[in-house]
Amino acid sequence: MDNKGMSKSMKSMWIMIVITLSLFVLGFIIHFIVKSGSDAGSPKRINDDLKISSVKIINYEDVNISLKKNTYDKDLIGARIIFYDSEENEILIEDASIEELEKNKYIFSTYVDNTSRIKKIKVYSLVMSKSLEIERGGLQDTYKVVFNGTVFSPPKDETGYSREKVINCTYASDCKDDNPCTVGSCSNGICSYPLIPGCEFCKYDLECDDNDSCTKDLCLERKCVHTALENCTSCNSSLDCDDGNVCTTDECIKKACVNNLIEGCKACSVKSDCHDDNPCTEDICSEGKCSHISIPGCSPCFDYGDCYPEYACVDGICVLNYSKE
């Protein structure tokens, strides 16, 4: 084969190589385009579509996050927001759709138990996979929450005062509140307000009734004060109220003893203590109490006329008038 023939063969071979390489490159490009269209939801395609522009701690349990929207592909369907504490533990995970974010002008509001725990917030993209499942995409932004010195309180309880307040504290004095029945304390940088045992919050004296008649119940400086009354005996039952007097009723009423005299009752030690000046009764002393039993057929009198004519009045008793016989 001459040199001229060799040159044509080499040229043809190189042409075939160029054509093959061109077809390979073209095929790769077409494959990439097709794959991009069918797998557009791949997390790798989404990057820096959302930014956290600001975080506002509203109170003890509410927080607002303002997101900034950058240019993003239509396959971004939402955002996942994760809250972390100071030890990088996840406190809360919340998802929000693009429609929801757009409706609220990219302000995301949520509830977090004890907002003072929030130290860091991360936002991730949410995308749709080829299998039509929602997946977490790439990390969009990280926001560190810095305490701004504001004290936040949970909703007030029935007393009108918060049982807890949340604040990043250093000393117990940072945790003062206006409830006289709590003691502010600082533990691990968080204020807490345990109740004082036995302390009762009040506004009026009537709220301090302890159902004990032996105490005077007052509301002083929003605290109930119960002062013992003199000469009053406290009790739990009537058995606690026995005063040793058989002529009184012994009762326990509202935790106070009440001893009332029994009408017509006379205490005694011996029979002579029971003399009632009635000759027609028998005077008896039994179990420390006097009793008087009428003598059958006996009629008391004060003068002769009370018994006339059949009987005479003798020593206060009508007796047969023998003189008449």
Res. 38 pLDDT band, cuts 50 70 90: very low
Is residue 7 predicted with pLDDT exceeding 70?
A: no
Q: pLDDT digits over 49-91, tens only?
A: 789 999 998 888 889 999 988 765 667 888 999 999 988 999 9
Q: Look at the pTM and tell me if it is higher than 0.85.
A: no
Which is more confident, 162 or 257? 257
H/E segment holding residue 307: none
The stretch 20-28 carries a mean pLDDT of 70
Which is more confident, 29 or 311? 311
Written as six digits, the tokens of 95 are: 């998802």
Mean pLDDT, the chain, rounded, equals 80
Written as six digits, the tokens of 261 are: 């005299």
What integer pLDDT is reported at residue 160 of this predicted model?
A: 67
What integer pLDDT is reported at residue 12 of this predicted model?
A: 73
Cα gap 319→325, rounded to integer Å: 13
What integer pLDDT is reported at residue 95 of this predicted model?
A: 93
> Can you give the C-alpha Rg of the chain in angstroms?
50
- At the fourth CATH level, the homologous superfamily of domain 43-144 is Immunoglobulins (2.60.40.10)
What integer pLDDT is reported at residue 46 of this predicted model?
A: 45
Q: pLDDT digits over 100-133, tens only?
A: 998 999 999 998 878 888 999 999 988 887 777 7
Which is more confident, 41 or 260? 260
Res. 37 pLDDT band, cuts 50 70 90: very low
Written as six digits, the tokens of 250 are: 């012994």
Q: Where in the chain is the domain with CATH 2.60.40.10?
A: 43-144
Three-class DSSP category at 210: coil
> Phi then psi for 99, rounded to 5 degrees?
-60, -40
Cα gap 81→112, rounded to integer Å: 12
- Asked whether the beta carbons of 275 and 292 are under 8 A apart, the reply is no
Is residue 45 predicted with pLDDT exceeding 50?
A: no
